[in-house]
């Protein structure tokens, strides 16, 4: 009887444990892991099918599982720094545990793997963009004229501008994109909010932080930077408008400039067919609160 009770209690406790699975999302990373003798899989498609089956099983048992992006190069570095033998399941487990605490992860909520994988990759790209922008901001240093920390001041300014942009938007769903031209790549941040009502906006804290950091980098480095907003509400035409960053201020784009920006692929520069039923227009006035005052770096 005691054995049965203990077994039942352990089953209950197992449902209280959250787990993380490190996922090899692409074929190249999968091939890199095949050099380890203890890595049991030899086909990426089969591997993904088995991962999805495991996720479904864990969910059916009432468990909570997050999925992390497993990078073979980072894994090798982790093992070298930690003095671990990389060709063991235990080392892979320890690396996955670190990913759960520090890396990009998304919860498994029953979504198919072909939806989960791109979401996980997008999360990893957002995290890398934020970390890169944060590093560059920290390296800028202080203003030679006033001694103010340029990165910190730019972040404060970016926070203020983002608040004004969101506050002046129409009620409904918002989709805001910020792109900053840096060397060697253009950094892009996206911010979404659903069901915004007049005077209220519930922003995802992580997205807002990433967005503000990228915008702050554009302010601090005086890089070419643009913001494009799309608003969606029931019974109304979607509205698309935007601004360019100039001297720490947001300068409104004309309807034609917004059309060109929205209908051009950021990475390739190719034209994208415009959507029907979309109003490309000038943005609402941000007011005097959207204009810079005081010292300009």
pLDDT at residue 174 tops 90: yes
pLDDT surpassing 60 at residue 292: no
Task: Please name the residue that has the structure tokens 């005077």.
Answer: 199
Give the CA distances from residue 208 to residues 166, 190, 191, 239, in Å, rounded to whole numbers and listed in that order. Answer: 11, 8, 6, 21
Bigger pLDDT: 276 vs 164: 164
Dist. CA 59–CA 55, nearest whole Å: 6
Token digits of residue 225: 């930077």
User: Residue 60 has what pLDDT?
Assistant: 86
pLDDT for res 16: 55
pLDDT band at 293 (very low <50, low <70, confident <90, very high): very low
pLDDT > 80? residue 191: yes
Q: What is the pLDDT of residues 44-56, one digit of tens each?
A: 999 999 999 999 9
The pLDDT confidence band at residue 294, using thresholds 50, 70 and 90, is very low
Mean pLDDT, all residues of the chain: 86
pLDDT band of residue 230 (cuts 50, 70, 90) is very high
Encode pLDDT of 26-69 as tens digits: 999 999 999 999 998 999 999 999 999 999 988 888 878 999 99
Q: What is the DSSP letter of 168?
A: T
Higher pLDDT, 144 or 42: 42
In the block, tokens 């979404």 appear at 192
Question: What is the per-residue pLDDT across 242-289, written as a single tens digit (0 to 9) for each?
Answer: 999 998 899 999 998 888 877 777 666 677 777 788 899 999 998 765
Q: Which pTM does this prediction carry?
A: 0.78
pLDDT category of residue 101 using cuts at 50, 70 and 90: confident
- Category of 278 on φ-ψ map: left (φ > 0), alpha (ψ -120 to 50) or beta: beta
Q: DSSP per residue over 178-240, as a string?
A: EEEE-SS-EEEEEEEEEEE-TT-----HHHHHHHHHHHHHHHHHT--EEEEEEEE-TTS-EEE
């Amino acid at each position: 009887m005691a054995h049965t009770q203990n077994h039942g209690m352990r089953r209950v406790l197992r449902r209280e444990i959250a787990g993380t699975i490190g996922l090899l999302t692409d074929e190249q990373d999968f091939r890199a892991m095949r050099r380890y003798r203890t890595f049991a899989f030899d086909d990426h498609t089969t591997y993904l099918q088995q991962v999805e089956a495991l996720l479904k099983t864990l969910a059916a048992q009432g468990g909570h599982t997050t999925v992390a992006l497993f990078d073979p190069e980072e894994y090798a570095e982790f093992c070298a720094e930690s003095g671990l033998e990389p060709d063991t399941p235990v080392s892979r487990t320890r690396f996955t545990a670190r990913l759960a605490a520090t890396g990009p992860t998304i919860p498994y909520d029953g979504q198919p793997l072909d939806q989960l994988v791109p979401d996980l990759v997008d999360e990893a790209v957002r995290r890398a963009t934020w970390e890169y922008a944060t590093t560059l901001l920290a390296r800028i240093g202080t203003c030679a004229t006033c001694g103010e920390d340029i990165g910190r001041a730019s972040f404060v300014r970016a926070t203020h501008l983002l608040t004004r942009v969101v506050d002046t938007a129409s009620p409904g769903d918002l989709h805001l994109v910020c792109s900053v031209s840096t060397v060697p790549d253009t950094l892009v941040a996206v911010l979404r909010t659903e069901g915004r009502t007049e005077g209220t906006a519930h922003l995802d804290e992580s997205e807002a932080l990433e967005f503000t950091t990228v915008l702050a980098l554009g302010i601090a480095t005086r890089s070419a930077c643009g913001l494009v907003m799309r608003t969606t509400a029931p019974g109304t035409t979607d509205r698309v408008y935007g601004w360019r960053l100039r001297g720490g201020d947001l300068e409104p784009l004309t309807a034609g400039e917004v059309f060109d920006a929205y209908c051009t692929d950021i990475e390739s520069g190719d034209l994208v067919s415009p959507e029907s039923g979309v109003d490309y227009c000038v943005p609402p006035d941000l007011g005097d609160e959207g204009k810079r005052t005081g010292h300009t770096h």
